[in-house]
Amino acid sequence: MITSSQNEKVKLAYALQNQPKVRRSQRKLALEGTRLVRDAHERGRKPEFVLFDPAAADMKLIAALQRAIGEVKVLPVAPEVLKHVSTTDQPQGIVAVLPIPMPDLPRQPRRALILDGVRDPGNMGTALRTAAAAGVQVALLSPDCVDPYNPKVLRGGMGAHFRLPIVEASWAEIATYCETLARYLAAAEAETDYTSVDWTQPWALIIGSEAHGASTEARALATAPVSIPMAADTESINAGVAAGVILFEAARQRRVKG
Evaluate if residue 189 carries a pLDDT over 90: no
Evaluate if residue 232 carries a pLDDT over 80: no
Region(s) of the chain under CATH 3.30.1330.30: 8-99
pLDDT band at 234 (very low <50, low <70, confident <90, very high): low
Asked if residues 77 and 32 have their Cβ atoms less than 8 Å apart, the reply is no
Q: What pLDDT, on the 0 to 100 scale, is given for residue 102?
A: 87
Question: What is the distance in angstroms between the CA of the first residue and the CA of the last residue of the chain?
Answer: 55
Asked if residues 51 and 79 have their Cβ atoms less than 8 Å apart, the reply is no
Question: Distance between CA 29 and CA 20 in Å, rounded?
Answer: 9
Identify the helix (H) or strand (E) that includes residue 58.
Answer: none
Q: Using one digit for the tens of pLDDT, what is the confidence trace for 90-117?
A: 888 999 999 998 888 899 999 999 999 9
CATH number of 111-257: 3.40.1280.10
Closest CA relative to residue 200, chosen from 133, 135, 244: 135
Question: Distance between CA 256 and CA 254 in Å, rounded?
Answer: 5
| Mean pLDDT calculated for residue range 227-238 | 77
Q: What pLDDT, on the 0 to 100 scale, is given for residue 236?
A: 67
Region(s) of the chain under CATH 3.40.1280.10: 111-257
Asked if residues 76 and 54 have their Cβ atoms less than 8 Å apart, the reply is yes
Which residues contact residue 212 at a Cβ distance below 8 angstroms, ignoring those fewer than 6 apart? Answer: 117
Does the predicted TM-score (pTM) go above 0.85? Answer: yes
Per DSSP (E only), the strands in the chain are 28-32, 49-52, 74-76, 94-99, 111-116, 138-141, 166-168, 182-186, 203-208, 224-226
Q: Using one digit for the tens of pLDDT, what is the confidence trace for 111-137?
A: 999 999 999 999 999 999 999 999 999
Q: What pLDDT, on the 0 to 100 scale, is given for residue 67?
A: 96
Instruction: With H, G, I as helix, E, B as strand and everything else as coil, classify residue 226.
Output: strand
Q: What pLDDT, on the 0 to 100 scale, is given for residue 211?
A: 72
Architecture, CATH, for domain 8-99? 2-Layer Sandwich (3.30)
